[in-house]
A and B are shown apart, each in its own frame.
Chain A
Amino acid sequence: MSTSPSPADPRQPPPSAGPATDRLAVVAAGGQVEPEVHERVRQTPAVLEIDRFNLWYGTKQALHSITMPIPHGKVTALIGPSGCGKSTLLRSVNRLNDLVPSVRITGEMRLNGDPIYDQRMDVIELRKRMGMVFQRPNPFPMSIYENVVYALRIDGESRRPVLDEVCERSLRGAALWDEVKDRLSESALGLSGGQQQRLCIARAIAAEPEVLLLDEPCSALDPIATGKVEELIQELRGLYSVLIVTHNMQQASRSSDYTAFMYLGRLIEYGPTTDIFTKPVLRETEAYVTGRFG
């Protein structure tokens, strides 16, 4: 990050940067900017609506008034430099941030109209409506089979035919079935890294989630495994509403329908992926996606 911002000092004028980083400079100085949200995003029906969402870790604000709809049945990518709040936003969607003691939030999120941060929302039930895949593969210390049907098990499902059916469907959905069908009862920890990550995806789609959250799912994988997981994301397109955080521009451009560019906890530009990568409205976005900054 060549223009990595220094901590804002109100007595000093904002650091003079090139015209391409004007808004970013304002943000770096602690200012607020109006996000550029393309009209086509607003026209698509949303599975998840994020509405003026703020989040603080202790006294440090990590998300600044994020407002964005996540389209139904599409793949939406969150891009931006490290520390811009992409993962925080993702983890706020299924309220994993509740586990961090010092977190405070304002604003709203709605999953198919249900307020996520409502007092009456049961967080356990909420998480069952979503699936999440993490940066590093995190298979559970049990068999491949039990990993896949974990969400159903904790729901009390114990009918073998149901579990078998879900297991096969999810593993097929995660393009892993042919590789593991003969060793379902073996430990999941014996799989390779890429297989483990696809297993985690199978686990996430087993409960038929309304939204699938992917937090840099390929960053810990080698190129071949990455290719397989990307292919898989392509296949999930249309079947699930996917929100994916990624560092990889190519990945975002290849596998997503919509892309949101975030910077220092703010949404900067949000639109159809082809527009963001070929004719972005903001020069800042263009600078980032072309690699001139970030």
Chain B
Amino acid sequence: MSSDPLRRRRSTHAALAAHGEAWVWLTGGCLALAMTMIIGLLGYIVSEGVATFWPRPIELIELTDGRKVLGEETGRDKAPDGTGRRLVRTANFELTGKHFEWFDDGDVTATTRPAEATVVERLEGGRFQGFPTRLLHGDEVVAAGGEEAWRGFREKHPDVRRRWREAWRIDKGDRGVLQRKLRAARLAVVRAGLSAGADSPAEAAAAAAEKAVAAEVEAQERRLDERTAELRAGNDGWGLEFTTASGETVVLPMADIVRAWQPNKASFQERLGVYASRWGEFLGDDPREANSAGGVFPAIWGTIAMTLIMALLVAPFGVLAALYLREYASRGPLTAAVRIAINNLAGVPSIVYGAFGLGFFCYVLGGSIDELLFRPALVADGQPTFGTGGLLWASLTLALLTLPVVIVATEEALSAVPNSMREGSYACGASKWQTIRRIVLPRALPGIMTGLILAMARGAGEVAPLMLVGVKKLALDLPIDGTFPYVHPEREFMHLAYLIYDVGFQSPNSQAAKPMVFTITFLLVAIIALLNVAAIWIRGRLRRRYVSQQF
């Protein structure tokens, strides 16, 4: 019977597809590819971002044409004709007109690492590289000779910096406070004029008050002037004389030097010190040199504040909207249409939200608020208060942008609440709202948090709409400070994601700014990750409390 033609023949090996292993490889391979890309991207950002502030050695390069340059090698590649070449950060922009220069390998005759080669970070003008020769104070030579001068510099520099910092703080902080006080008094005059009429006793009183304030402010300013003049005088005359690799002599005023280091000579600890101090400046200070150096503190502040305000705004709106859709609205074509519309909103390009935010929030809403509450400012100097981009409007715009995410996630979470719980509550005589508030919402809270986490991740990384509704290249006044009313949601702010664009692509010295871009990106990713981890931690706690398996 073995030759029965109807009998199905069995192969000795099952087909590969029948084992299903082909699918394991395909699906696993896709996951591996995705993971590789993500890990590769993050790894690249982290490695580049972390390395930015590490002091690297600088080299004295001698060229065939007799030139000598001092610089840090930052890149290497092959010219089109196949010869190798290197990109060197030569700095000393005021002398050469360049920050970076390419050198063909063939033109280089010798490279050495002189121990006394010094890198100087300045307040403006980019880096300076050279050999210190003398420490000067006015006409007097305090120390001569490379080693002596360097030692003297290290001794005097902290004092100089301290004086500079104090003067800077006075200029930025105290004078700002005085100016605001003066403006408030001026606005009071305008307000009195608007409400009680020009030449009214009220206005006269306000004008008198303004005069008093002006006199007081002037007196205080004079005191500040004296103080800053004294501080600056203390710094005046202090200078460090350098010889560059090409032989020129340059005296750098000590007050202009942010920090200086001798990377070829520095021990590991000294390098670590420089590294830490540069990170400290990066995280805690204001930017300088068109954002390509210094710190990003205002941007960190702006990013976190905006993201949190956005989350606070979007959560109630999104949750309430989803509650209506899921718990109250009757199932029907209209509900389905609304749901589709919400899903589509998630696909609208973000710049459209930016345009809407500018047109509606800033101009219409903000304009009305100005008209109603801040009219004196409009009349006095034509300056809008809420009628322009600001932290509040940017947060609102992003809240709108992330609303669909929250609504969809909340709906999912609500539909995952077992109906038996709702029925149990109804059977106890609870009303619909009591059931929602006491049973459904607590149980759905972890799912809602998931939506919020997604929304925060999306919102914190958004740039395009922010450019229209309040993010600025430079905005050093934080939205919370010591002047009444302490919280200023109308102020423009800085944002890390925008800073990436600005520093990376709008900077006059883009080659030098490149490492900064990596560091800012690293910081942004880290902040978003931190916010997410915090939210996930909260979600875990809620889940343990409210959601647990039934049996």
Contacts and interface: CB of A to CB of B under 8 A. Distances in A.
**5 nearest interchain CB pairs?**
A128-B429, A132-B427, A189-B548, A141-B546, A127-B429
Interface in A126-176: 126-128, 130-132, 134, 136-138, 140-142, 150-151, 153-155
Nearest to A128: B429
B430 A130 contact: no
A130 B548 contact: no
B547 interface: yes
Contacts of A189: 547-550
B426 interface: yes
Nearest to B548: A189
Contact of A134 (B420, B429, B442): B420
A96 B423 contact: yes
Interface string B346-373: 0000000000000000000000000000
Contact of B428 (A136, A151, A193): A151
A99 interface: yes
B350 to A, nearest CB: 36
Given A136-B420, A138-B418, A141-B443, A187 B427 contact: no
Interface residues of A, number: 35
Contacts of A132: 424, 427
Contact of B429 (A101, A154, A196): A154
B425 A140 contact: yes
Given A141-B547, A154-B434, A189-B548, A127 B427 contact: yes
A203 interface: yes
Nearest to A222: B551
Interface in B434-458: 434, 438-439, 442-443
A128 B428 CA distance: 6
B424 to A, nearest CB: 4
Interface string B508-551: 00000000000000000000000000000000000001111111
A125 to B, nearest CB: 7
Contacts of A142: 438, 442, 546
A138 B424 contact: yes
Contacts, number: 87
A153 B434 CA distance: 10
Contacts of A252: none
Contacts of B421: 138, 140-141
B330 interface: yes
Indicate the member of B331, B427, B545 with the most A CB atoms within 10 Å: B427
Contacts of B420: 134, 136, 138
Contact of B430 (A96, A136, A154): A154
Contacts of A125: 429
B428 A127 contact: yes
B246 interface: no
Nearest to A125: B429
Contact of A131 (B427, B547, B551): B427
Contacts of A227: none
Nearest to A132: B427
Interface of B: 330-331, 418, 420-421, 423-431, 434, 438-439, 442-443, 545-551
Nearest to A206: B428
B543 to A, nearest CB: 10
Contacts of A124: 429-431
Nearest to B551: A193
Nearest to B330: A101
Contacts of B427: 94, 96, 127, 130-132, 134, 204, 213
Nearest to B439: A140
A192 B421 CA distance: 17
A45 interface: no
Nearest to B331: A101
15 contacts: A94-B427, A99-B426, A101-B331, A131-B428, A138-B424, A140-B425, A140-B438, A151-B428, A151-B430, A155-B429, A203-B428, A204-B427, A204-B428, A207-B428, A213-B427
B421 to A, nearest CB: 5
Contacts of B545: 141, 187
Contacts of A207: 428-429
Given A154-B434, A155-B429, 11 more contacts: A96-B423, A101-B330, A101-B331, A141-B439, A151-B430, A153-B438, A154-B428, A189-B547, A189-B548, A189-B550, A203-B424
Nearest to A203: B428
A200 interface: yes
A96 B435 CA distance: 14
Contacts of A127: 426-429
A137 B550 contact: yes
Interface in A170-209: 187, 189-190, 192-193, 196, 200, 203-204, 207
Contact of A187 (B431, B439, B548, B550): B548
B328 to A, nearest CB: 13
Nearest to A141: B546
B146 to A, nearest CB: 72
Contacts of B429: 124-128, 151, 154-155, 207
Nearest to A200: B424
Contacts of A101: 330-331
A124 B493 CA distance: 52
A19 to B, nearest CB: 42
A150 B426 contact: no
A203 B427 CA distance: 10
A96 B548 contact: no
A207 B428 CA distance: 8
A22 to B, nearest CB: 38
B18 to A, nearest CB: 39
Contacts of A126: 429
A204 B424 CA distance: 9
Contacts of A134: 420, 423-424, 427
Contacts of A138: 418, 420-421, 423-424
A131 B430 CA distance: 12
B550 A136 contact: yes
Given A134-B420, A141-B439, A141-B443, A150 B428 contact: yes
A107 to B, nearest CB: 22
Contacts of A99: 423, 426
Contacts of B430: 124, 150-151, 154
Nearest to B422: A99
Contacts of B434: 154
Contacts of A150: 425, 428, 430, 438
A136 B331 CA distance: 27
B424 A140 contact: yes
A201 B431 CA distance: 20
